[in-house]
Each structure stands twice: as structure tokens, then as C-alpha cells.
Amino acid sequence: MIDTHCHLDDRQFAHDIDAVLAASVAANVNRWLLIGYDPRRWDEAITFVGSHRGMYLTLGVHPAEAPLWNADVEMQLRNLLQESGAVAIGEAGLDFYRDNAPYEVQAPAFRGQLRLAAELDVPLIIHMRDAEDELLDILAVEPTLPSLVFHSFDGTEKLMDFVLSSGSYVGVGGLATRQKSDGLRMQLARVPLDRMLLETDSPYLVPARQKDRRNQPKHVVTIATMMAEYFDTTPDALATQTTANAERLFGLNHDH
């Protein structure tokens, strides 16, 4: 199985990354997409991915880092995407939940990355929080959209309508396993299985009922097990299908 969204270069893993990866492989989660979300840490992310077998890279500017976006960073991103073997842009998007930059700062960074992804024909992984209408407005006026992944999807019926009509992909993770996530699970049940990806967002968004609050990629299995019934399938079938989806979308091969 593949963890399509994780932050294994986070300092929470600095002391035991080898053990975390071994536990992941033992659970049959043997490939990972590391999300390089901060231009100041892209080099570090590239090195990290290069030194771990089965690790793939994305590069982007997270909405929290949007103030860093400029022509220089854009050029750097364009070059690194072509040189580093990165499989997607992201995570990028809009987030008005925290004290992030205002719309006027976040929107150009998101739009710029959307256009770069469309131009280079790579998927874009979206991070969206408390910004559904603004995000939909931006997507509605882009002439060409890249393939989109709604990482840890958390939206209303309206956003799900867009996901379905655009053929976008949806990342399902720990958030969907939580007791209070009934409304979210109702939306996710509408997603065709061939548009679903599994992800942990490690070290964040640990699934329900875990004592260790640090999330780990081995929990892709926990998520598949907890979610399969809501999608009218079995954990095994969900695993097989979501792995095939990730391979197709990101162009992953087996002997990386």
C-alpha cells in the first residue's frame, strides 16, 4: 500500500525514522509520498527522499508559506520539479483557519501552482481549510486544470459536487475515521473507488482510538480497515484499488 501524504521529515520522526518505516513496511505500507511543502526545506526533502527506498517526492508551497511565493520561488519550483523526479505539486491551496496570510497573498501562490501543474502536466495536491468558496471560485475560472487531489477532503456537498464533476481524487485519512465525522463519511461515500487515495498526513491526523497521538504511515492499514464498510467494500479491495489509483495518478513504478 502507499501512504500518499506524509511528513516523515518532520522532527517528530528524527529519532526513529528507520523504526517507523520498518513498522510501515511490516504492515505492508511500503511506498510513501513525502510532501515538500516549504521552499526553505525543499533541498532537505529532496535529500530525505533520495536516501529512503520507496519514498517519492512532491514539491509545493503550502498556504501557510504563501508569503514566500514570488517569481524566483516559482522558477525554482519549476526547475526542481523537472530535476528532482517529483511526482506532483503540493501541497498548495487556501487555508483561512489559522492566522495565515490574507486571500490577496494566498490566492496568487495557489493560482501560480495550479498553472504550473497544468503546464507541466503533473497532479496538484490541494490543502484547503475554511476556504471552500474561495477555492471553488479560483478553480472555476482557470482555463485548464491539472489532475487534482483533495488531500484529507473536508468539504460540503458543494465541494464534493466539484470533485465528482471534475474527476478529481480524494485523499481519505484519519479525519474520516473520527466519531464526529459522520457528515464527512456521507460525502466520501459518494466518491467512486477509482478516485480514492489513502493517506495519513503523519505525524498529524491520527486515526480514531489510537493511544499514540503521533500518526505513522502504518496507519494506512488502520484507515482502510475502518473505512471499507462505509464504501461498501472490503479492506483488501480498498487497498488494492487505492494503490492502483496512486500508481496511475502519480506514475509510480515498483522498483523505485
Cis peptide before 146 (omega within 30 of 0): no
Contact criterion met (CB below 8 Å) for 153 and 187? yes
Q: Least distance in Å: CB of 203 to Zn ion?
A: 10
Cα–Cα distance for residue pair 124/50, rounded to 1 Å: 21
Residue 19: exposed, middle, or buried by beta-carbon count in 10 A (0-12, 13-18, 19+)?
exposed
Q: Least distance in Å: CB of 174 to Zn ion?
A: 12
77-116 residues in contact with Zn ion (CB under 5 A) are none
Please say which residue, 35 or 122, places its beta carbon nearer to Zn ion. 35
Q: Contacts with Zn ion: how many residues (CB under 5 A)?
A: 1
Q: In DSSP terms, which residues pair with 126 in a beta bridge?
A: 92, 150
Q: For 207, list phi and psi in degrees, rounded to 5.
A: -65, 165
Please say which residue, 92 or 182, places its beta carbon nearer to Zn ion. 92
Please say which residue, 35 or 80, places its beta carbon nearer to Zn ion. 35
Q: Least distance in Å: CB of 36 to Zn ion?
A: 10
Cα–Cα distance for residue pair 251/88, rounded to 1 Å: 10
Residue 255: exposed, middle, or buried by beta-carbon count in 10 A (0-12, 13-18, 19+)?
exposed
Please say which residue, 74 or 95, places its beta carbon nearer to Zn ion. 95
Please say which residue, 149 or 224, places its beta carbon nearer to Zn ion. 149
Q: Residue type at 178?
A: R
Please say which residue, 35 or 114, places its beta carbon nearer to Zn ion. 35
125-154 residues in contact with Zn ion (CB under 5 A) are none
33-72 residues in contact with Zn ion (CB under 5 A) are 35
- Grid coordinates of 68: 514566500
Q: Least distance in Å: CB of 70 to Zn ion?
A: 22
- Give me the half-sphere count of Cα atoms (radius 13 Å) on the Cβ side of residue 21: 21
Binding mask 11-40 for Zn ion (x = CB under 5 A): ------------------------x-----
Q: Residue type at 188?
A: L
Q: Least distance in Å: CB of 141 to Zn ion?
A: 26
Contact criterion met (CB below 8 Å) for 52 and 25? no
Q: Least distance in Å: CB of 178 to Zn ion?
A: 17
Note the residues at the interface with Zn ion (CB under 5 A).
Answer: 35
